Structure 1
Amino acid sequence: MALDDGRKRWIAAIFVVVTVWFMSVVIAGLASVFSSTSSMETGNVAIIPIKGMITTEESDSLFGEEVATSSSVIKMIDEADSNQLIKAIILEINSPGGTPVATDEISQRIKKLQKPNVAYIREIGTSGAYWVASSADYVIANRMSITGSIGVIGSYLEFSGLIERYNVSYERLVSGKYKDIGSPWKENSPEERMVLQTSIDLIGSYFIDEVAKNRNMTRERAATLATGQFYVGGEAIKLGLIDELGGKDEAIRYIENKTGIKAKTVEYKKKKGLLSMLSEATSSNAYQIGRGIGSSIVNSEIIRLR
C-alpha cells in the first residue's frame, strides 16, 4: 500500500511539473504572437537574420527545423527600409538554401533596397542562400564558411522496385499524360525524365543569370561555377563569389565606411507564433530520431536550391 501511495505521489508530481512547463510555454507563445517583428532596442543599422531552410511557408511540424520564410524576411526588410532611423542593413545568413520561389522573392526585395546593405555568411550560405547573399551590395564570409553550391536539385526516392518485390501494384488512373510524373510508385519513362530535367535546367539557368548580374561577372564565368560544388570562404573570394573575408565586425566596418556613421546595430526578429515557441522549447531529440527518413519522404518531390 505504501509503495502504491509513493508511486501515486511521484506521478502527481510529474504531472504538475509537466503542466506548469506546458502552460509557461503557452503563455510565452501567446505573448510572442502579439510581439513586434523587430527588437525594441533602437539603432541605426538593422541586422536581419536569414537562418535555416528558405521557404515560402512556415513549417507546421512541432519538431520542425528552423526555417526562414520569404514573407517574414521581406517583412523585416520592409520595416528596416521604411524606418528613418535605420541607415543601413546587414543580412546575417546561415542557411543551406531553399526553394526557388522563396529565394527569388527575397533576392528581388534586397535588390530594391534604397539603403546600403551587406550580407555576411556565417557557417553556411550555399545554393539559394548564396543567391540571396549575392543580391546584396557587398558579401562577406568567414574564411571557413561554406558557400557557393550553385545548382538545383529535384531528386526523389523511387519505390517501384520495392513494391513489385512485395507483389504490390500501382494502378495508374490519370486524366493527363504527365499527371503522375515523378511519382515514387512508378519508374519514370525516358520522356518523363527529360521533362523533369528540362524544368530543373531552366531553374538552374535563372540561377546562373542572377549570380552573373549580382556579382558583375559574365554569364560564361558564372556557368563555369555552376557545378553544385561548394567552396570555403578562402576559395570563394578568389573565385569572385564574395568580396571580403570576415564576419559581423567586418560587415559593420563596411557600413561605417560606406555611410560615415557610427554604427549601432539592432537585430530584427520575425514574429513567432505559439507553435514556433513550443517547437523551440521542446527537445529536438525525438525529431532527430526520424529526421533522415522523414525529411527524405516529405521533401522527395520538392525542387530545392541546395
Structure 2
Amino acid sequence: MDTTMDDQMPQQKRKWPYIAFVLLFLWLFALMLSSFISLFAGIESDSLGGNVAIIPVKGVITGDPGSGLFDEGASSEEIVKLIEKADRNPGIRAIIVEINSPGGSPVASDEIAQALKKTNKTTVAWIREIGTSGGYWVASATDHVVANRMSVTGSIGVIASYLDFSGFIGRYNVSYERLVAGKYKDIGTPFKEMTPEERVLFQNVLDDLRDNFIDEVAANRGMDRKDVERLATGLFYLGSEAKGLGLVDELGGRGEAIAYIEQKEGIKAQVVKYKPTPSFVDILQGAFSEQSFHVGQGIGDALVEKGKTSSVQITA
C-alpha cells in the first residue's frame, strides 16, 4: 500500500501545473468576456440614440483613470470624456449628471465642473443619496440641481489630515534621519512632528482651497459670496434643508430632472446612459494594478501618491 501511495504522489504533483494553467486561462477568459460585454453595452447605448444623456458620478472622485473592473471611484478623466462626447452629439439636447458621491480630489472635482460649464447643452444634477464636498462642487456647475429630500449634500469646506508616527517611533528607539535638499521637502512626513511654521503653510493652502470652493459655488449658483461663506463650515444638509438655503433648486429624483429638461427644451425625453467602456487591456492592467484594489476615503487624496514625501491628505 505504501508503494502505491508513493507512486500516486508524483502523479498528483504533476497535475498541479495543468490545474493552475486551466485556472489562469479561465480567469483571463472571464476578463475578456467582461471587456466584450462592456464594449457591446457601450455600442448598444450609442446606437439607441436618445436626446438626454445620463452620466453617472459615483464613488470617490479621482483624477486616475479607472480600470473598469474593480475600480469603484469616479474618474474625472473618463467623466470629462463622456461630457465632451455628449456635447459633440447633435442629437443630445441635455445632460443629467447622476451624483452619488462624497467628493474626491479637488482638482478632479473642478475638472468635471469646468467641463459641465463649457458644454452648450442644458445640464442637470440629480443628487441621489449623497452629493457632498466635491460631489456638490460638480452639482453646482449645472443649470439645475435636483436632490432627494432625504439626500445629504453641501459640506462646503476643506480638511487636511495626516498620521504622526514621531511619538511611536521614538518609543521604540527608532530615529528619523532628515536628509533633504530644500527646507520644506519633507513637510508633512509622518515621521516627525509638524512645526508651527509648517502648520501655518498648510493652513494657508486650506484657506485658499476653501476660498476657491466658495467662489465657484457662488458663481455657479448665482448666490452672494457672503451667503455661501456662511454655509462653508463643512456642515452637510439634508436635501430639504439645502433647498431652503439655495443650494438645491428642486426636490425629487430622475423624474423631476427629466421633467425640467422636457419643459425647458420642449422635447419628449429619450434617455440614454453614457458610461465608460474600458478595453480588455485596460481591464487587464487594472487587475494587476494596486490601484484596482484601493478605495479612497474622502474627497482629497490629490497630494497622496507613491513616491511623494508628504503624507497629508487634503479634502475639500
TM-score (norm 2): 0.82
CA drift of 1:271 comes to 2.6
Within the alignment, does 1:257 sit opposite 2:263 as a pair? yes
Within the alignment, does 1:303 sit opposite 2:303 as a pair? no
Matches for 1:204-283 after TM superposition, within 5 Å: 204-274=210-280, 277=283
Tell me how far apart the structure 2 counterparts of residues 118 and 156 of structure 1 sit (CA, whole Å): 36
**Equivalent in the alignment of 2:51:** 44
CA drift of 1:278 comes to 6.5
SS at structure 2 position matched to 1:81: helix
Rg larger in structure: 2
Within the alignment, does 1:186 sit opposite 2:192 as a pair? yes
SS at structure 2 position matched to 1:57: coil
Distance verdict in 2 for CA 1:275–1:192, change over 3 Å: farther
**Equivalent in the alignment of 1:284:** none
Tell me how far apart the structure 1 counterparts of residues 121 and 104 of structure 2 sit (CA, whole Å): 26
Q: Which of 134, 138, 153 is equivalent to 1:132?
A: 138
For 2:209, give the aligned amino acid: I
**Equivalent in the alignment of 2:61:** 54
Most deviating of 271-280 and 213-222: 271-280
The number of residue pairs the alignment matches comes to 298
Tell me how far apart the structure 2 counterparts of residues 50 and 171 of structure 1 sit (CA, whole Å): 43
SS at structure 1 position matched to 2:237: strand
Contact (CA 8 Å) 1:51, 1:93: kept in 2 or not? yes
CA drift of 1:27 comes to 4.0
Tell me how far apart the structure 2 counterparts of residues 218 and 87 of structure 1 sit (CA, whole Å): 30
SS at structure 1 position matched to 2:47: coil
Tell me how far apart the structure 1 counterparts of residues 274 and 30 of structure 2 sit (CA, whole Å): 24
Distance verdict in 2 for CA 1:82–1:233, change over 3 Å: same
SS at structure 2 position matched to 1:154: strand
Matches for 1:135-214 after TM superposition, within 5 Å: 135-214=141-220
**Equivalent in the alignment of 1:69:** 75
SS at structure 2 position matched to 1:303: strand
Kindly provide the CA deviation profile for residues 86-110 of structure 1, in whole angstroms up to 9, marking residues without a partner as x. Answer: 1111111111101111111111111
SS at structure 2 position matched to 1:24: helix
Kindly provide the CA deviation profile for residues 7-33 of structure 1, in whole angstroms up to 9, marking residues without a partner as x. Answer: 88x978797466424422234336757
Contact (CA 8 Å) 1:147, 1:230: kept in 2 or not? yes
Distance verdict in 2 for CA 1:275–1:202, change over 3 Å: farther
SS at structure 2 position matched to 1:43: coil
TM-score (norm 1): 0.85
Over the matched positions of the two proteins, sequence identity in percent amounts to 54
CA drift of 1:34 comes to 9.1
Q: Structure 2 regions of 5+ residues with no counterpart?
A: 288-292, 306-310
Q: Over the residues paired in the alignment, what is the CA RMSD in angstroms?
A: 3.4
Kindly provide the CA deviation profile for residues 79-137 of structure 1, in whole angstroms up to 9, marking residues without a partner as x. Answer: 11111111111111111101111111111111122111111001111001101100000
Most deviating of 10-19 and 49-58: 10-19
Tell me how far apart the structure 2 counterparts of residues 89 and 55 of structure 1 sit (CA, whole Å): 21
**Equivalent in the alignment of 1:26:** 32
Q: Which of 98, 112, 118 is equivalent to 2:104?
A: 98
Most deviating of 135-144 and 272-281: 272-281
Tell me how far apart the structure 2 counterparts of residues 259 and 278 of structure 1 sit (CA, whole Å): 42
Tell me how far apart the structure 2 counterparts of residues 279 and 102 of structure 1 sit (CA, whole Å): 22
Contact (CA 8 Å) 1:33, 1:274: kept in 2 or not? no
